[in-house]
Amino acid sequence: MKSEPTRILFVFAWLVVGGEETEVRLLARHLDPERYRIDAVACFHKPGMPEQTHAQLRALGVDVDTVPYSLSFEDTIAYLSRKVATYDLVISCQNVADIYPALERAHLRPPLIEHGGLVSEALAGPKHLTNRYVGVCRSIRDAAASKMGDRGLHALEIPSMVDLGEFHQDRRHATRAALGLTSATPVIGWVGRLDAKKRVEDFIEAAAITHRQRPDAVFLVIGGPDAFMPEYADHLRDLAQQAGLGTALRFLGDRTDVPDLLQALNIFVWLSEGEGMPHVIAEAGAAGLPVIATPDNGARQQIESGISGLFVRYRQPDEVAKAMLTLLDAPDKRQALGSALRAKVFATYSAEVVVPQWQRLIDEVVAERQPASPAKLFQSYFQAGFECSTHRLRNGKRLDIIASSEHDRHADADYRQLGSLGIRTVRDGFRWHTIETTPGHYDWSSITPMLQAAQHIGTQVIWDLMHYGWPDDLDIWQPNFVDRFAKFAGAAARLVREHSDQIPFYCPINEISFTAWGGGDASYLNPFGRGRGFELKVQLARASIAAMRAILDVDPRARFVHADPAINVVTAPERPEDFWAAEGHRQAQYQGWDMLAGMTWPQLGGEPRLLDIVGVNYYSNNQWIHGGATLNRKHSLYRPLHRLLMEIHGRYGRPLVIAETGIEFDARPSWLAYVAGEVDQARTKGVPVEGLCLYPILNHLGWDDERPCQNGLLEHERASNGRVIYQPLAEELLQQQQKYQSRHGS
């Protein structure tokens, strides 16, 4: 099976135009897409922020998530806590205020690399969840190390990179022509966001001084306003006008062709005070430009004064102008400085040099992630489930799959046969409608032989108490349904305890969310409602909670598996306006579990301990396009099962079990291989999946048409030594059992 790329999520406070945005863009371009997949999420947006980086990243295949733009700070934290759990690595840029609260809330935390471009960022915030801190220059790395205690070595320096392939000297003439400049015009430029700490006013004042002696010179300010200080851009324009620069100084705004514009310059100037490592100095070097700069933090690593650039003092426009005039009159000096800086960029800051540093770091940090502990919750990791649906169809017919498959008559033999196949844990069911034919009176004759068989064979059973069906005299919408079910559950628990002293396992109500959809919205299942799905979900959650409390009163050791489908609903790329509708359907899968855990509707009585074991039911049709087709495993929008499991565990922090999975006909072996492989991947990423249940284990008649469903390991037909076995699936099961045993020793 082809291995999946390492999934990396870059988290930005805001996504504008700058060194960190360039870094992720170049990583997306140069990292091997077969090995690494980059996504990005931005947490905040303000009117006036440029969006060109969004488009550039998307053009490279990066999914840029802007959902937090419409969320509050608290909702963004909740959103991120769910999102980060599905990734192998998170890289947080710009000291994102949301990331630590999100990671604290997530139960499955991916490794975290913080990436800092300022000393102030490195000194801010906690570091206890930070696996590595990457500073773009030495001073930033040292600042981060000072905050990491005895983990100071986990603060690293990886400089911002430049893609030399973006710089083409042969475009100089065309770029100048597009700007209305001749090849002889002296052009001096500045590039960046119009941010006060970049001291653009010093550039303008130096330009005014230079212009008086060299009126032929043109000065370019390339970059748009900073959305947090738009008034600064207005101030700069006023300053240029007051200086009488007129058309000699141009504000070009945000541009996507910065490499070409740099090639059109003769001199580059950077006069910041309080920056990190100016990425644009390396870009100027890639263009072979001489640079005039202040000795600000990382600039001192980039430039050797007099060799690969010229340093000037802070806030000294006259010194800047003097350096401009000197270089304008010395083309050989310009050439020498630019060539030396380009050589430094080639050796130190080129993508060919920097990308391997990132690759080694990513691989190292991801490899440190701890897998889940060996499964030990159940008697066997591979399990079997007997279809035990008992609901009434629309035509009034009552299903009873246990009876129609004759499992009730042959439970002892079925359990024994499964034991011979290495399966010692099963899902099976109480049939409430046969037990409580008279309100408050229980006839246990339908379940007692199965309890005795389990005890006799030594099979561990997870008992479903309601698998879609209930007694005919009950109205599921009425309050007394909850009371009746709780009393039934308590009585069932007493019966189980009479037959076994083992810790009992129950699934109180199978598929709360699916039953609510099928019975309350889609009119597919009894009670065939429409527009009442959430109401039914609340009722079922209330009943399940009451049942668990009744069971715990009988046996405080009891454990509970809450099975529901794990689904994925996506938006068709051509219909992005459907996102929130699709996401609403996807999030609805969690409502039942959330209610049981008390995360929503706490008035129902839910609490975290009641969401004991999350049972994940997963089939080949569990993913689809909203308003469209089912997704198969080869579809580009299909999410691997292990990512769904990571999200579920990240949300709840509870052990998981694949409570149902299967498929019909010849696809059975390959489907088991896929699911087992995905579960293994989830476990390597720290998800405690405690078992995998083949469901149904026994072929049965279809719900709607009574056709023979060929979806089990065991056939309905019996031979002298038990039921006929579907051999291809048995062989695949044996292979998967051996793989599991070789990895975990049991």
465-501 pLDDT, tens digit each: 999 999 999 999 999 999 999 999 999 999 999 999 9
pLDDT at 2 over 70: no
Can you give the pLDDT at residue 94? 85
d(CA 456, CA 461): 12
Give the residue from 622, 669, 612, 613 showing the smallest Cα distance to 643. 622
Contact 675, 633 (CB under 8 A): no
Residue 351 has pLDDT above 60, yes or no: yes
Element (H, E) at 551: helix 533-554
Q: Per residue in 109-124, pLDDT tens?
A: 999 999 999 999 999 9
Q: Average pLDDT for residues 291-309, to the nearest whole number?
A: 96
The dihedral sign for the CA sequence 108, 112, 118, 122: positive
* pLDDT band at residue 621 under the 50/70/90 scheme: very high
How large a percentage of the chain has pLDDT more than 90? 95
Instruction: Quote the distance between the C-alpha of residue 155 and its chain's center.
Output: 25
**Mean pLDDT, range 93-101, rounded to an integer:** 93
Strands of 512-601, DSSP E:
559-565, 568-570
- Which tens digits make up the pLDDT trace of 727-740? 999 999 999 999 99
Single out the residue of 496, 620, 493 nearest to residue 546, CA to CA: 493
Domains delineated in the chain: 6-163 (3.40.50.11380), 165-349 (3.40.50.2000), 382-744 (3.20.20.80)
Q: What is the pLDDT of residue 607?
A: 97
Q: How far apart are CA 732 and CA 734, in angstroms?
A: 5
* pLDDT at residue 704, rounded to an integer: 74
Q: What is the mean pLDDT of the chain?
A: 96
pLDDT over 70, % of the chain: 100
State the Cα–Cα distance between residues 94 and 106, nearest whole angstrom: 21
Tokens of 4: 């999946």
Residue 3 has what pLDDT?
Answer: 78
CA distance 708 to 401: 12
Dump pLDDT digits (tens) for 647-706: 999 999 999 999 999 999 999 999 999 999 999 999 999 999 999 999 999 998 887 777
pLDDT at 746: 60
As to burial, measured by CB atoms within 10 angstroms (0-12 exposed, 13-18 middle, 19+ buried), residue 267 is buried
Among all chains, which residue has been given the structure tokens 């999934």?
7
**Cβ neighbours of residue 537 closer than 8 Å, sequence gap 6 or more:** 512, 513, 516, 520, 591, 592, 595
- Backbone dihedral angles phi then psi of residue 330, each to the nearest 5 degrees: -135, 75
Looking at 129-133, 297-301, 450-454, which range is the least confident one? 297-301
Q: Who wins on pLDDT, 312 or 744?
A: 312
Write down the pLDDT at residue 721.
87
> Alpha carbon 120 to chain centroid distance?
28
What torsion, rounded to 10 degrees, do the Cα atoms 101, 104, 105, 107 define? Answer: 150
